[in-house]
Structure 1
């Protein structure tokens, strides 16, 4: 029986995806986890160790040939935090998001500014996204 999560009285069932990954990206993902990107650290502090509705998130997770900022395996949920490094990369980000969605993942994006200035709002939007897409 799949694990269930309870978010505001709504039962969410786990839906684990079988996703391949490129082992050649392991060192890059490890290096990214060691960087101290403030918006990512702030978000991580809210979801680390299943603090967000008992959901487990991974940082800098390899999925296929991509490294995503955060991944919740139980839901197949990718959380991307977009800062200035994404400027001019909209086409590549769009291709990446399409690939992830074609492999069963759902993707939600937040800007670094929103995380830095309105982290509580980010967490509320993440909760709403999960309720809308997984219940």
Structure 2
């Protein structure tokens, strides 16, 4: 099987608590009736002309919306995340970021922010 597909499958099978909580809401299509996928690979061109990829925690293809749930590892990857967001924005993707703590401690507020984005 494709190594990228394998990686995405492993990530889907081992979600964080925050990812589980958010997926519980997004999978029901309560977010404006939109369909979301989780741990979805998004391919982007790189400088060498080859394709690179980023894995979106949650992705809505119709709106080109990526939702990221950032755990502690992201504190060490701020430059990487900022560059990733810049590249994806330039390619027409929109990114919403939430921390694990935001999702775990106030999932309703996170869903409100997502809904606000969807109806704006």
Would you call these one fold, judging by a TM-score over 0.5?
yes
Task: Report the equivalent of 2:18.
Answer: 39
The TM-score normalised by the length of structure 2 is 0.86
Task: Report the equivalent of 2:107.
Answer: 119
Report the secondary structure of 1:122's partner residue.
Answer: helix
28, 36, 61: which one aligns with 1:57? 36
Q: CA RMSD in A?
A: 1.2
50, 70, 82: which one aligns with 2:70? 82
Task: Report the equivalent of 2:97.
Answer: 109
Report the secondary structure of 2:87's partner residue.
Answer: helix
- Distance, in Å, in 2 between the alignment partners of 1:50 and 1:122 is 15
56, 69, 89: which one aligns with 1:68? 56
Task: Report the equivalent of 1:48.
Answer: 27
Residue by residue, what CA displacement relative to the aligned partner does 1:30-87 show, whole Å, maximum 9, x if unpaired? 1100003110000000010423221000000000111010001111000000110111
- Distance, in Å, in 2 between the alignment partners of 1:28 and 1:57 is 18
Partners of 2:22 and 2:107 within 8 A in 1: yes
The TM-score normalised by the length of structure 1 is 0.77
Structure 1 stretches of 4+ moved >6 Å: none
